[in-house]
A and B are shown apart, each in its own frame.
Chain A
Amino acid sequence: MLSKKQAKAFFLGGTVLFSAIFLALSVETVTSSMPEKTNDSQITEAVVRGKEIWDSNNCMGCHTILGEGAYYAPELTRVYSRKGESYIKTVLMAKEPWAPRGRKMVAYALSEEEANDAVAFFKWINEMDLNGFPPEPDPALSK
């Protein structure tokens, strides 16, 4: 029968072993694979300013990006290719709440420069290799 000492060894040994594996994989991910898959070298100053706009307005509090967020407003990972630059800028620069089908967005009334930065951010996100996400709908089902 398992003793308390053995149970403790299982807990401590397992924790150390799996933490070590996790850390090793994390190092590989952030130093090698992820920069390549996310086109890290193409992060310009405009992209960084765009991310600051994204974060400081808590856009993730309604939208999702890379599938993460609040499920209240559309997924924006591929919004650049789906809606295009001018549509995105119109929404972000609107002085009245944008309300497609009645669901209101905060009117951020961004300046032209800020909207350009946000677009640069979405354009960079748009090019990421996300292992197939978001999935393409099945055309046969919509018939």
Chain B
Amino acid sequence: MKYKSQKVAYWFFALSMLLIVLQITYGFIMGFAHMGFDGLHNIIPFNAARATHNNLLVVWLLSGFMGAAYYIIPEEAQQELVSVKLAYVQLITLALVGVTAVIGFHFNWWEGRKFLEIPRELDFLVVINVITFLGIILATLFKGKKQSTTAMVLTMGLVFAALLYLPGMIWFDNQGMDSFFRWWVVHLWVEGVWELIMGGILAFLLIKLTGVDREVIEKWLYVIVGLTFLSGILGTGHHYYYIGAPEYWLIIGGIFSALEPLAFLGMALFAIHMYRKGGRNHPNKTALFWTLGSAIVSFVGAGLLGLAHTLPQVNMYTHGTLVTAMHGHLAFWGAYGMIVFAMISYALPQLTGRKLYNTVTGLYGFWLSLIGMVGMTTAFGVAGVAQVYLERRIGLDFMVAQQEIEVHFLVLVLCATIFATGITMFIIDFVRYGQPNDEALIGEDEVNSLENA
């Protein structure tokens, strides 16, 4: 690492690792409940497990994005973070708010709005926390020697993500309106501004790992995030088909959702092309695997599997079924989980000075988690299609159909075990790296020579 303050990133990554373990644990509780084993019902009913699973996902990804920003922005702006102390305060408060929310879920303290279950009182603390984070990032960026495109796109994504949280805090008496604005947060995050964050991190990693000229990478970054907004903003319409919104959203949502995979295809082709074009043989192959993997898997999970059920004629039957869970799992993992893992894989050797490149655990961590997640996605897909047919087409009672598809949750839990094994291996490597230290500080020349080694 070049700047001492980049060490803050490590602790955000560590928080991410802790929270993903908890998230997976609650995923298992839900998987077993779907199979009929709900022995924990009295202390952790399904809705508590579900809210915990979803919100931990959001918080560990945000913690990963924040860690990435604390690592990338000083390096891009050529400037130490303006306040390391404040960054640590922000980390601790983020963790405290997250933990309080999760505990609250177990005591019926929440807002029953999917992905935005955090109670209103805590929402205000989240806002203060995020303003603190953005204050540090923006002050560092504009105090720095330069404002690169990569840093600007990443920062723009973070600022918009914060702004878009606000519509989710408005109360509506009308359930349809409530849903309409809830998607301003959820959809415009994951199929909009979070892609700016992903694009910014991806561009940074490609510049570092492939050695391709920054100008070339950043030019294509603009094209990709342009495609993302071109398709993603009006693509929000696919959430408006059946919630009481007018019929024109069927046409608009259908057309622009069909374009959404283009942005992800662009992302995948961009990453692969830059890798092939790059002359740099960076020793950190694990980081390269995660980087290219993220670009490719996001195309399959978010792009193709999204398209699989966003046409209105299809969505009429799949809306509100496990088909959505199929798409959701691979999309979140590919686009956001894997890019956070890519960033961590790249940053750890730089932060700690330990060059544990390409370990067996690191390699197995990548492949097992990927294979496990693809298996889980397949299990959700089979269960979802069967549910659509039995419940929506034939008209079987909900629970009759659920019992017919229970067996697919056995496959899901088995694949989740493979996934969890992969994550465990990644975390073993994380621990082996140890904590960041000042001995890892190196100058620009040394960075270049290492990267060109």
Contacts and interface: CB of A to CB of B under 8 A. Distances in A.
A61 B112 contact: yes
B453 interface: no
Contacts of A10: 222-223, 226
Contact of B112 (A26, A57, A66, A74): A57
A61 to B, nearest CB: 3
A51 B246 CA distance: 22
Please classify the interface of chain B as helix (H, G, I), strand (E, B), loop, or mixed, using the class held by over half of its residues: helix
Interface string B387-418: 10000111110111011000000000000000
Given A10-B226, A15-B226, A51-B175, A59 B112 contact: yes
Nearest to B152: A8
B244 A75 contact: no
Contacts, number: 212
Contacts of A11: 222-223, 225-226, 229
Most buried by B among A29, A48, A100, A142: A29
Interface residues of A, number: 71
A96 to B, nearest CB: 12
Contacts of A25: 248-249, 252
Contacts of B215: 4
A24 to B, nearest CB: 11
Interface string B225-242: 110011001101000111
B180 A34 contact: yes
B298 interface: no
Contact of A133 (B180, B226, B241, B402): B241
Contacts of B33: 72
Interface stretch (B321-329, B340-348, B435-443): B321-329
A34 B215 CA distance: 46
A29 B246 contact: yes
A100 B401 CA distance: 13
B277 interface: no
A11 B250 CA distance: 25
A66 B395 CA distance: 18
B187 to A, nearest CB: 11
B174 interface: yes
A142 B320 contact: no
B276 interface: no
B156 to A, nearest CB: 10
Closest 5 CB pairs of A and B: A61-B47, A137-B395, A67-B320, A133-B242, A58-B112
Interface of B: 30, 33-34, 36, 38, 41, 45-48, 50-51, 105, 108, 110-114, 117, 149, 173-180, 215, 218-220, 222-223, 225-226, 229-230, 233-234, 236, 240-250, 252, 316-317, 319-322, 324-325, 387, 392-396, 398-400, 402-403
15 contacts: A10-B226, A14-B229, A18-B229, A18-B234, A19-B233, A38-B244, A55-B111, A61-B51, A62-B50, A72-B30, A72-B50, A101-B399, A104-B38, A134-B392, A137-B394
Given A62-B50, A71-B321, 9 more contacts: A18-B233, A19-B233, A29-B180, A48-B173, A68-B179, A128-B176, A130-B244, A134-B242, A134-B320
Interface of A: 2-4, 7-8, 10-11, 14-15, 18-19, 21-22, 25-26, 28-30, 33-35, 37-38, 40, 43, 47-48, 51, 54-62, 64-75, 97, 100-104, 106, 121, 125, 128-135, 137-139, 141-142
